[in-house]
Amino acid sequence: MRQRTGMIFQDRRQAGVALARALRDATDVDGAVVLAVPRGGVPVGFEVARELRLPLDVFVVRKLGVPGEAELAMGAVASGGLVYINESVVQAFRIHQEEIDAVVAREKLEIARREAAYRAGRPALAVEGKTIILVDDGLATGSTMMAAVRALRPRAGRIIVAVPVASRSACDDLEREADSVLCLETPLLFHAVGEFYRDFEPTSDAEVTSLLAKAASND
């Protein structure tokens, strides 16, 4: 489902409130769990979970940056070890398998570190057979979200991808993978997620940890 309202979000928290209201109108979320992609997806997911009175956890996915062009994704690796590779990017940049393997190994270590730090000793939410609402602050290529969907597919009853803004190509790709996709904004001209936020300051590890602890205390 795509909504084009021309909205510029004040910040991630305000975007999360708008996303929660759209989700409530669009689909049945009873018994669902919210999994936010850190870091930027967590403030959005926190508001979604609070508005819909659902439990919140993280699902850590790390972008695999092109060697020498770290901001450009050649794929992603998700919690649990699933790797998604964007073959068109790999071919365009002539990236060798050894280079891919090195980046994957590094990012798997970072996933383990973040999961331990963010949950502060709490167990991961049980998601088997449940409706999972996967949330991020936006999608450019969609590689990280694609990895998350594919990693969770064997365990989930239903997967809903929900984001405030996304490129049209990312939405198209994810609609073929998820059970439902909700993008509040799919602009014709899309350069970067941050263009659609007035405040797009980086989310810190400390903020992620704090929001997860706050959500857990309200369960």
* Average pLDDT for the chain: 92
Question: What pLDDT is stored for residue 5 in this prediction?
Answer: 53
Token reading at 55:
């439990």
Question: What pLDDT is stored for residue 10 in this prediction?
Answer: 95
Question: What pLDDT is stored for residue 56 in this prediction?
Answer: 97
Q: What is the mean pLDDT of residues 81-96?
A: 92
3-state DSSP assignment of residue 23? helix
Q: What is the mean pLDDT of residues 9-30?
A: 93
Q: Does domain 63-117 have CATH number 3.10.150?
A: no
Pick the CATH number of 12-61+121-217 from 2.40.40.20, 3.40.50.2020, 3.10.20.30, 3.40.718.10: 3.40.50.2020
Question: What pLDDT is stored for residue 26 in this prediction?
Answer: 84
Question: What pLDDT is stored for residue 132 in this prediction?
Answer: 97
Q: What is the mean pLDDT of residues 113-128?
A: 91
Q: What is the mean pLDDT of residues 102-131?
A: 92
Q: What is the mean pLDDT of residues 52-79?
A: 91
201 DSSP 8-state letter: P
pLDDT, tens digit, for every residue of 45-61? 999 999 999 999 999 99
Residue 46 CB contacts under 8 Å (≥ 6 apart), including other chains: 13, 16, 36, 56, 211, 214, 215
Tell me which amino acid residue 147 is: A
Domain boundaries of the chain, sorted by first residue: 12-61+121-217, 63-117
- Phi-psi sector, 31: left (phi>0), alpha (psi -120 to 50), beta: left
How much of the chain exceeds pLDDT 90, in percent?
75
pLDDT, tens digit, for every residue of 125-183? 999 999 999 999 999 888 889 989 999 999 999 999 999 999 999 999 999 999 999 99
How much of the chain exceeds pLDDT 70, in percent?
97
Distance CA 92, CA 94 (A): 6
Question: What pLDDT is stored for residue 174 in this prediction?
Answer: 95
Q: Residue 219: is its pLDDT beyond 80?
A: no
Pairing of strands 69-78, 61-66: antiparallel
Q: Which stretches of 8-130 are DSSP H helices?
A: 12-26, 41-52, 87-92, 97-119
Instruction: Give the bridge partners for 66, in sequence order.
Output: 69
Question: What pLDDT is stored for residue 7 in this prediction?
Answer: 72
Strands (E), the chain: 33-36, 56-58, 61-66, 69-78, 83-85, 131-135, 158-165, 180-185
Residue 69 banded pLDDT, cuts 50, 70, 90: confident
139 DSSP 8-state letter: B
pLDDT, tens digit, for every residue of 170-216? 999 999 999 999 999 998 888 889 999 999 999 999 999 999 999 99
